[in-house]
Structure 1
Amino acid sequence: MTEAGPALPASVAATRSLKSRVVRAVLSLLVVGGIVMALAAFAYGRVAARASYDRLLLGAANEIAGAITISGGVPLVDLPTAAFQLLALAPDDRITYSVRSPGGQVITGQDTPLPETVRQAGGGFFDAEFTGLAAAERARFVTVPRRFAERDFSGTILVTVGQTLRARNAMALGLTRDALIVLGFAGVLLIVLGALVVESAMRPLVGLARDLAARDPYDLTPIDTPVPAEVAGMIGALNDFMLRLERQIASMRNLISDSAHQLRTPVAALRVQAELAAEETDPEIARATMVRIVRRSRSLGDLLDQMLSRALVIHRTAEARRVAVDLRDVALAVIETQDHALIAPGRDVALEIGAAPVLVLADDLSLTEAAKNLLANALRHGAGAVRMGAGIEDGAAVLWVRDAGPGPDAATLARIGARFERNAASRGRSAGLGLSIARAVAEAFGGRLALDPRPAGFRAALILPLSEEMP
């Protein structure tokens, strides 16, 4: 027997083992098969016993019929011992016989039953009650004719021999018992073999469970343990799950790292400025310091909003169900929230969308967060009027934000979108976090973030595959 597998966690609801299921199934089949086989064996035994003992009964009747002679016009019967020796093969059975004249009178023997149909047919087998015993008992009878056509006697003499059914029933039960014994041995063998086969088949799974239990908690590499083909699909699904989990953990680690990196400096600066304001005695200097504290607090609030937006996007892109989303609706929703009026009051912001739908298969909330970050990035780091729009370009869906500024230089453009990237226009705030959120959303839905300096201004765009539901 193999070793027991690792103990199951309390949260795992284990059902009956496969081994017990196979044993129960085999037992059920054996019970049903045993009943069917017993009935079949008993029926066959009765047929076989009837055929065997009918031949003995017929042989005894023929022996008696052959011993009949006619003397002086009178039938005489000299009972042969061979006839009763044949019937003695069933020692527990009772025997009766009769010899009847053509007129139906009993010449010798007992008054055995003789159905009219058998009499008219001139002989044959039949079943009837054996009445010569203390209690009536079923018996098997045979009647054979012996025809005479002599000068002083002419007619048919009927010889009837009967025997009870004890030996026949014993033979049928014996055949049934033998069949059930064979079935019992075969059943035990099948149960043992079934248990061994299941145990052998489960051995790779027990090894797999042991390997998983021994793994480092942070080891999310794919499982490469050889398993049967029937389990390969489950292992593939488990590997996919661990890959998604690893991505989620990596994203959360990046989020924590981002938070620590992004918040450390602003919080420290805010604390220092608050301490200076508390110690300052000059009202004008204290007022200027408080203004800087307010400005720094607003900047820190914007940063926290972006961090929360990133956390939301990490969760939504991994868990939310993909549905058909019209990018025009996303752009319209972002403009209608009027967040730009708080970020850059008085700035010229407009929407440019067409009449044709721009459908993608994605999550509406994640796309909205990405679009908000693109717009906020353009308002904070761009210049001039800002335009947001959606359309179809080169067979792809595009959600874009464009400002009138020249955009960053080539070196900065190559790095922008990475975490913590700052440019000269950012006034100390990270320009990379908002774009990294947009890039993460685009890549989660099979697209990309495109940063493109154009004659009309710098454009940042989410380029996504069109949905198959496009009309």
Structure 2
Amino acid sequence: MTRRDSLYRRLLTWLLLPLMALGALMVLQAWIEARQTADRAFDRLLEAATLAIAEQVQWQDDRLWLDLPPAALEMLATDAEERVFYALYDAEGRFVTGNADLPGPPRRDDEKAGTLHFRDLVWRDLALRQGVRRARLEDWQTRERFEVRVAHTREGRERLAAELLRTNLAYILGMAGLAAAVVVLAIRGALTPLSRLRHAIRARDPRTLTPLALPLPRELAELRETLNELLARMRRVKANQERFIGDASHQLRTPLAGLSARAELALRQDDPQRWREALEAMQATSARTSHLAVQLLSLTRLDNPEYHPELAPVALDDLARHAVRRHWSACHRDGIDLGLEASETSATVAGLDWQLEEALANLIDNARRYGATHITVRVTAAPPVLEVEDDGPGIPADQRLLMLRPFHRGSDEPDGSGLGLAIVDGIARTHGARLRLDDGLDGQGLRVGLHFPEETT
């Protein structure tokens, strides 16, 4: 099972990882500081030991002589049981006395008396810290140079460094724990508004599409506004669906009731001729009902405020030829002359071919139903215009805007639904075109045109 991602876990990771890295750097720095502090402390003891030994060096019997004070070495001997070594050398580098023949750093002739050198060395498999003091006797008889070498093992230094590190480590761990607690609490506090938003959304009735009014920080307020925009779009879609349901129930109730009545009446008859008449009436009613349902669906889809189709280049002259071929048979059966007028220049617009085909189908069907004997589909290229002209009764100028309303009919023609021009108007708006209703040739009939903007060509 895949583990779900978590914003809380992400924030913890991205905040605690840098804190852990910083903590590791602090521990490393604390260890370095502890070692340096321990070295400085023991180097001071090493310096004091070499000084105490140098002060006891004397000249007796024509040679260097040392009366070693016990405290000089005891100050370097701690509870860690270090091993301490010392040696006295004359000006020629010859061993005079001591408990070990310790090596020393190279001597320089110009080096002043009283200088002190510290160094780390490995002697007889022992890691030592050595202090070398070069001095001279301050006696009125002689000013002999000599060198005191003192070295000790590193157990005491390591123990002191470890104690200092433990002290610093306790402080670092305490600060790290406090910082981690602050980070966790800060993340929880920062995500609290998001939790409130989640609970508010989860507690809402699924049928409720009212905007969210929850007070939130600026970043989450943007998310709230985005959700409110989505809810507004859903309200528009819901209103469109409810309008479709209302229109469909209102418009389909009558033909469906007629079908039921025709069927019931036919069942009471014994004459086959009556049955045939009833079936023909039912077939006509069902055809009108099917046409009405298709137009209702088309109008609802066009009125959907969230419908934003991607337009593509469409050749209007090819579209018009296809529409004329498709409707020519039906018009020919009704004795209607259907023709096409197209310019020699191809007219291309940005649109949806199926919508423009539906617009032409509605215009041709309206002209055929309302008494036209001549129907002309016309295409012009400059500017791009697609229009249908007929010689029927036409529409009075003061009624033309009303005809664009759904279900408004200019006559009592039973086959009409009052949706054809409303659908064409919706298609025109989808394409950014202007729908015009004008008088036909010689003031007779009706000319309906879709005038496309120039920039779509």
Shorter chain as denominator, the TM-score bin is 0.7 to 0.9
What is the one-letter code of the residue matched to 2:410? N
Displacement of 1:278:
4.5
Tell me how far apart the structure 2 counterparts of residues 221 and 353 of structure 1 sit (CA, whole Å).
52
Per the alignment, residue 423 of structure 1 pairs with 410
Displacement of 1:161:
0.8
Secondary structure in structure 1 of the residue aligned to 2:400: helix
Displacement of 1:69:
1.7
Per the alignment, residue 349 of structure 2 pairs with 359
Tell me how far apart the structure 2 counterparts of residues 130 and 14 of structure 1 sit (CA, whole Å).
59
Query: Which among 176, 181, 186 is matched to residue 187 of structure 1?
Result: 176
What is the one-letter code of the residue matched to 1:104? G
Task: Give a deviation string over 1:230-272, Cα, whole Å, max 9, x none.
Answer: 2344333333332332222222222222222222212222333
Tell me how far apart the structure 2 counterparts of residues 333 and 232 of structure 1 sit (CA, whole Å).
54
1:125 aligns with 2:118: yes
Distance 1:411 1:217, change over 3 A: farther
Per the alignment, residue 218 of structure 1 pairs with 207
Distance 1:258 1:274, change over 3 A: same
1:402 aligns with 2:389: yes
Q: Which runs of 5+ in 2 are unaligned?
A: none
1:31 aligns with 2:7: no
1:47 aligns with 2:36: yes
Aligned 8 A contact 2:367 2:392 in 1: no
Aligned 8 A contact 2:86 2:151 in 1: yes
Task: Give a deviation string over 1:285-304, Cα, whole Å, max 9, x none.
Answer: 66555543443333233223
Per the alignment, residue 446 of structure 2 pairs with 458
Displacement of 1:192:
2.0
Query: Which among 218, 235, 241 is matched to residue 229 of structure 1?
Result: 218
Tell me how far apart the structure 1 counterparts of residues 3 and 307 of structure 2 sit (CA, whole Å).
28
Task: Give a deviation string over 1:93-146, Cα, whole Å, max 9, x none.
Answer: 332211112343432222242145368896622222365xxxx53120011112
Secondary structure in structure 1 of the residue aligned to 2:106: helix
Which piece of structure 1 moves more, 72-81 or 439-448?
A: 439-448
Distance 1:435 1:201, change over 3 A: farther
Distance 1:27 1:293, change over 3 A: closer
Aligned 8 A contact 2:409 2:416 in 1: yes
Per the alignment, residue 164 of structure 1 pairs with 153
Per the alignment, residue 263 of structure 1 pairs with 252
Displacement of 1:28:
2.4
What is the one-letter code of the residue matched to 2:99? Q
Displacement of 1:159:
0.3
Distance 1:446 1:205, change over 3 A: farther
Displacement of 1:392:
7.0
1:439 aligns with 2:425: yes
Displacement of 1:328:
1.2
Secondary structure in structure 2 of the residue aligned to 1:322: coil
1:276-315 pair list within 5 angstroms: 276-280=265-269, 288-310=277-299, 313=302
Secondary structure in structure 1 of the residue aligned to 2:226: helix
Query: Which among 59, 66, 79 is matched to residue 70 of structure 1?
Result: 59
Per the alignment, residue 324 of structure 1 pairs with 312
Per the alignment, residue 9 of structure 1 pairs with none
Aligned 8 A contact 2:425 2:435 in 1: yes
Aligned 8 A contact 2:324 2:340 in 1: no
Which piece of structure 1 moves more, 63-72 or 342-351?
A: 342-351
Aligned 8 A contact 2:57 2:137 in 1: no
Aligned 8 A contact 2:90 2:146 in 1: yes
Which piece of structure 1 moves more, 231-240 or 204-213?
A: 231-240
Which piece of structure 1 moves more, 24-33 or 331-340?
A: 331-340
Aligned 8 A contact 1:331 1:388 in 2: no
Distance 1:199 1:324, change over 3 A: same
Tell me how far apart the structure 2 counterparts of residues 187 and 392 of structure 1 sit (CA, whole Å).
77
What is the one-letter code of the residue matched to 1:328? L
Aligned 8 A contact 1:387 1:403 in 2: yes
Q: Which runs of 5+ in 1 are unaligned?
A: 1-12
Tell me how far apart the structure 1 counterparts of residues 331 and 248 of structure 2 sit (CA, whole Å).
22
Secondary structure in structure 2 of the residue aligned to 1:416: helix
Distance 1:32 1:183, change over 3 A: same
Distance 1:185 1:216, change over 3 A: same
Task: Give a deviation string over 1:7-37, Cα, whole Å, max 9, x none.
Answer: xxxxxx9834333333333432233223222
Distance 1:163 1:255, change over 3 A: same
Per the alignment, residue 373 of structure 1 pairs with 362
What is the one-letter code of the residue matched to 1:244? R
Per the alignment, residue 8 of structure 1 pairs with none
Tell me how far apart the structure 2 counterparts of residues 104 and 377 of structure 1 sit (CA, whole Å).
127
Tell me how far apart the structure 2 counterparts of residues 399 and 242 of structure 1 sit (CA, whole Å).
38
Tell me how far apart the structure 2 counterparts of residues 329 and 234 of structure 1 sit (CA, whole Å).
48
Per the alignment, residue 413 of structure 1 pairs with 400
Tell me how far apart the structure 1 counterparts of residues 260 and 332 of structure 2 sit (CA, whole Å).
26
Secondary structure in structure 2 of the residue aligned to 1:117: coil
Report the TM-score, using the length of structure 2 for normalisation.
Answer: 0.82
RMSD value, Cα: 3.6
Tell me how far apart the structure 1 counterparts of residues 293 and 220 of structure 2 sit (CA, whole Å).
46
What is the one-letter code of the residue matched to 2:292? L
Displacement of 1:330:
7.5
What is the one-letter code of the residue matched to 1:126? R
Distance 1:284 1:129, change over 3 A: closer
Aligned 8 A contact 2:314 2:352 in 1: no
Tell me how far apart the structure 2 counterparts of residues 338 and 432 of structure 1 sit (CA, whole Å).
23
Tell me how far apart the structure 2 counterparts of residues 190 and 445 of structure 1 sit (CA, whole Å).
61
Aligned 8 A contact 1:398 1:461 in 2: yes
Secondary structure in structure 2 of the residue aligned to 1:167: helix
What is the one-letter code of the residue matched to 2:250? H
